[in-house]
């Protein structure tokens, strides 16, 4: 192949590699966000206080703020 024929092939390969790295990076960002949300959800479910309202037969959940904050600190958030 001549130099003029290789140039478009190199551009296509280079573009593909860049797109592959961008896709990988965006996937890592999504996984990181998912793990953070999972940690927050686990802390929220761990540190809740439930109270039953007898008038309406409803269960009301309140967070225990100090336990919730301690859990978040332990998980590095």
pTM for the full predicted model? 0.59
Looking only at the bridges linking them, the beta strands covering 48-53 and 58-63 are antiparallel
The CA distance from 29 to 56, in Å, is: 43
The CA distance from 40 to 34, in Å, is: 10
Using CA of residue 31, residue 77, residue 62, residue 47, what is the dihedral sign? positive
User: What per-residue confidence (pLDDT) applies to 57?
Assistant: 76
Residue-wise pLDDT tens digits, 33-76: 999 999 888 888 877 778 787 777 787 777 788 888 888 888 88
């Amino acid at each position: 192949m001549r130099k003029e024929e290789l140039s478009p092939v190199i551009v296509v390969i280079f573009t593909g590699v860049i797109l592959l790295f961008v896709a990988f990076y965006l996937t890592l960002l999504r996984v990181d966000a998912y793990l953070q949300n999972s940690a927050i959800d686990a802390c929220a479910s761990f540190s809740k206080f439930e109270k039953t309202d007898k008038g309406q037969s409803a269960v009301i959940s309140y967070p225990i703020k100090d336990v919730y904050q301690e859990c978040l600190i332990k998980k590095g958030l």
